[in-house]
Amino acid sequence: MKDYLIRGMDKHGRIRVFVASTTKMVEDARRTHNTSPTATAALGRTLTAGVIMGSMMKNSQDVLTLKIAGDGPGGTIYIVSKNNGRVKGYIDNPSADVPSREDGKLDVGKLVGKNGTITTIMDLGLKDPYVGQSNIVTGEIAEDLANYYAYSEQQPSAVSLGVLVDRDISVKAAGGYIIQLLPGISDEDIDKIENTLSSIEPVSTMIDKGLSPEDIMDRILGDFQMEVLDKTDLIYQCDCSREKIERVIMSLGREEIQNIIEEDGEAEVVCHFCNSKYKFSKEELLEFLIDN
């Protein structure tokens, strides 16, 4: 099944929902970064959240950065996404792993750590980017994002994210949803949604059973008349290029480039998001000095 995201709304405009299937996207990230099983789950949950949050932006030039910086052995997780379903990300220590929990589940909370912050940076093409921040609550990502929405955005939201890692450590199923309660919703409707969410299967189980995002929307909000507003294909994709890396080197300034030439004689830059290597010879670096 292809990865995609749907955006849905009830007919009264009081419930907005985003549901994503992200199995292939998370598997592509796992292969790129060679992550441990727990790091696959941590990165995969955050990628799923990042691609959903990116889809909430209006313009194709808008860029969302989601950063989860806990004090666990995994280190910081970075996600960059746009509103077109393209997402990339990495975790500082992809090989870090922790023992599973007593219930057999991967201990994402321990890998991420409970002390730290969630930061979102939205570059909407304005003078200053929009920055929101909140504290990590459990390190399990979904709870942390629900807390982020409540405190930083004053937007009551239910967040569910899941990654099922197979015995051969590949990704068996991944996906997630964010439900946003909009002004005008009744307490009765909120109770209904909470009741459903407390008894429903984990999202990764539903994806593993072959349920589509539309099926999942039906399971979680079947009591409401929901309509799918749009559908976006999701792809793990890095947009780095030699030209972009050149601009990064140029931005270091004359002195720093001169230091690199004197100390190393050449430069090798590795993209964090896709591990592509870019090599620059002494001659090329000298040319940057002329242009700088």
Site of interaction with Zn ion (CB under 5 A): 238, 240, 271, 273-274, 276
Neighbour tally for 205: CB within 10 Å: 14
In the DSSP assignment, the letter for residue 71 is S
CB of 256 to Zn ion, least distance (A): 22
User: Do 94 and 35 form a contact (C-beta atoms < 8 A)?
Assistant: yes
Please state, in angstroms and rounded to a whole number, the distance separating the CA atoms of residues 93 and 81. Answer: 21
Nearer to Zn ion, 142 or 238 (CB): 238
Of 10, 52, 56, the closest CA to residue 189 belongs to: 10
Nearer to Zn ion, 4 or 90 (CB): 90
Nearer to Zn ion, 91 or 193 (CB): 91
CB of 246 to Zn ion, least distance (A): 14
CB of 239 to Zn ion, least distance (A): 7
Nearer to Zn ion, 252 or 274 (CB): 274
In the DSSP assignment, the letter for residue 99 is P
Nearer to Zn ion, 237 or 292 (CB): 237
Of 94, 120, 96, the closest CA to residue 110 belongs to: 96
CB of 275 to Zn ion, least distance (A): 7
Nearer to Zn ion, 148 or 273 (CB): 273
Nearer to Zn ion, 76 or 147 (CB): 76
CB of 269 to Zn ion, least distance (A): 10
Listed in sequence order, the residues at least 6 apart from 126 whose beta carbon sits closer than 8 Å to its beta carbon are: none
CB of 94 to Zn ion, least distance (A): 15
Nearer to Zn ion, 152 or 276 (CB): 276
φ/ψ of residue 62, rounded to 5: -65, 140
CB of 278 to Zn ion, least distance (A): 9
For the chain, what is the radius of gyration of the CA atoms? 21
How is residue 13 written in tokens?
């405009």
Please state, in angstroms and rounded to a whole number, the distance separating the CA atoms of residues 29 and 171. Answer: 10
User: Do 268 and 248 form a contact (C-beta atoms < 8 A)?
Assistant: no
Lookup result for tokens 């990654």: 163
Of 131, 117, 105, 119, the closest CA to residue 50 belongs to: 119
φ/ψ of residue 117, rounded to 5: -135, 155
User: Do 6 and 213 form a contact (C-beta atoms < 8 A)?
Assistant: yes
CB of 18 to Zn ion, least distance (A): 26
How is residue 19 written in tokens?
């549901």
